[in-house]
């Protein structure tokens, strides 16, 4: 198994929303907000090469949204989804599978593009896209809290094109493919999927929005976006304890500077970042 990070650029979200009940005087020590109280976040996807499959995990925000959307979230940076794949020598046609952890716009926006005629089509024409039925139904008929995060143009065209498949939801970690297990979590949104990748040397956990950045390792650092924050607390606690026990590597989707890290128990008895790492460093260990 070979794993690459796929950088797709940055965007901005309100600092208060990203850190929930944690006061600004604490979280601004970690990241500096702009004059609108917005902080900059990465949209870091993964590409997993295993046997004859090239599996893209999440797709970033895409580029098909209008000016109003762009003013609000300010996507920026030189990296793009297709550009980062091309930098590794891959074309869209080379992707065999796209695993969507959940269908919020900053995770699924790049899954669909507009063709020359302006129609919405799958961005990876030979890929099977993967979600789960519980989450898809949740996204298709969203609650008021998440309505602005679920944009149907990002995922309904996948089902209309016949390329979307559903993974069966399981209470326990379930093997999706050899070397890739999925954990279903419910704090951030309904049935979000966390990929757990078994490399030859260490386990790597793609944290999606359960732990969006290294700034969120502390248990109280729970986003206001989460629909069930107490579930997030228990899901984080379980994940962190298991990762520390197993010497696993965490991969952060939204951390603007840290792609991966190992963990340690600090002198106050809390689980904290031990060593920041790039994916290349993880793969070369």
The answer to whether 62 touches 111, Cβ cutoff 8 Å, is: yes
CA 65 to mean position of chain CA atoms: 19
Q: Scanning the structure block, which residue is given the tokens 């899901």? A: 235
pLDDT at 113 (0 to 100): 96
Domain assignments of the chain as residue spans, ordered by start: 2-284
Q: What angle do CA 6, 260, 202 make, to 5 degrees?
A: 105
The answer to whether 44 touches 8, Cβ cutoff 8 Å, is: yes
Instruction: pLDDT band for 284, please (50, 70, 90 cuts).
Output: confident
Q: Scanning the structure block, which residue is given the tokens 């970042």? A: 273
Whether the pLDDT of residue 25 is over 90: the answer is: yes
pLDDT at 58 (0 to 100): 98
Question: Considering the chain, what is the average pLDDT of its residues?
Answer: 96
Locate 259 and state its tokens: 């792609």
pLDDT at 180 (0 to 100): 96
pLDDT at 200 (0 to 100): 81
Locate 154 and state its tokens: 């990002």
Tell me the CA end-to-end span of the chain in Å, nearest whole number: 14
Task: Say how many C-beta atoms besides its own lie within 10 A of residue 158's C-beta.
Answer: 27
Instruction: pLDDT band for 77, please (50, 70, 90 cuts).
Output: very high
pLDDT at 90 (0 to 100): 97
Question: For 172-231, how does the pLDDT look when each residue is reduced to its tens digit (9 = 90+)?
Answer: 999 999 999 999 999 999 999 999 999 888 899 999 999 999 999 999 999 999 999 999
The strand pairing partners of 121, in sequence order, are 113
Instruction: pLDDT band for 272, please (50, 70, 90 cuts).
Output: very high
Question: For 127-182, how does the pLDDT look when each residue is reduced to its tens digit (9 = 90+)?
Answer: 999 999 999 999 999 999 999 999 999 999 999 999 999 999 999 999 999 999 99
Least confident of 39-43, 82-86, 97-101, 276-280: 276-280
The answer to whether 223 touches 18, Cβ cutoff 8 Å, is: yes
Task: Say how many C-beta atoms besides its own lie within 10 A of residue 121's C-beta.
Answer: 15
Q: Is 157 helix (H, G, I), strand (E, B) or coil?
A: helix
Dihedral sign of CA atoms 250, 113, 149, 97 in order? negative
Could you please state the CATH topology (level 3) that the domain comprising 2-284 is classified under.
Metallo-beta-lactamase; Chain A (3.60.15)
Share of the chain above pLDDT 70, in %: 100
The strand pairing partners of 142, in sequence order, are none
Q: How far apart are CA 237 and CA 258, in angstroms?
A: 21
Question: For 107-123, how does the pLDDT look when each residue is reduced to its tens digit (9 = 90+)?
Answer: 999 999 999 899 999 99
Burial 70-95 (b: 16+ CB within 10 A, else e): eeebebeeebbbbebbeeeebebeeb
């Amino acid at each position: 198994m070979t794993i690459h990070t796929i950088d797709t650029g940055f965007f901005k979200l309100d600092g208060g929303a990203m850190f929930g009940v944690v006061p600004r005087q604490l979280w601004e020590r970690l990241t500096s907000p702009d004059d609108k109280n917005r902080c900059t976040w990465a949209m870091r996807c993964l590409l997993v090469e295993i046997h004859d499959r090239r599996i893209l995990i999440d797709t970033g925000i895409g580029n098909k949204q209008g000016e109003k959307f762009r003013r609000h979230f300010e996507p920026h940076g030189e990296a793009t989804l297709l550009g980062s794949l091309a930098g590794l020598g891959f074309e869209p046609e080379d992707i065999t599978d796209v695993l969507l952890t959940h269908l919020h716009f900053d995770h699924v926006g790049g899954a669909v593009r507009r063709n020359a005629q302006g129609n919405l089509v799958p961005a990876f024409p030979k890929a099977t896209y993967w979600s789960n039925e519980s989450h898809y139904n949740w996204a298709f008929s969203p609650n008021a809290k998440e309505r602005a995060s679920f944009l149907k143009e990002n995922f309904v065209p996948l089902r209309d094109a016949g390329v979307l498949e559903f993974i069966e939801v399981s209470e326990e970690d379930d093997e999706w493919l050899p070397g890739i297990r999925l954990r279903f979590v419910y704090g951030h949104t309904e049935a979000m999927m966390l990929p757990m990748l078994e490399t030859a040397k260490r386990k790597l956990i793609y944290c999606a929005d359960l732990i969006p950045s290294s700034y969120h390792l502390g248990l109280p650092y729970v986003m206001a976006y989460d629909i069930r924050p107490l579930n997030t607390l228990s899901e984080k606690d379980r994940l962190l304890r298991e990762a520390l026990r197993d010497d696993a590597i965490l991969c952060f989707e939204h951390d603007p500077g840290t792609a991966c890290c190992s963990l340690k128990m600090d002198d106050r008895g809390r689980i904290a970042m031990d060593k920041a790492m790039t994916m290349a460093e993880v793969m070369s260990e």
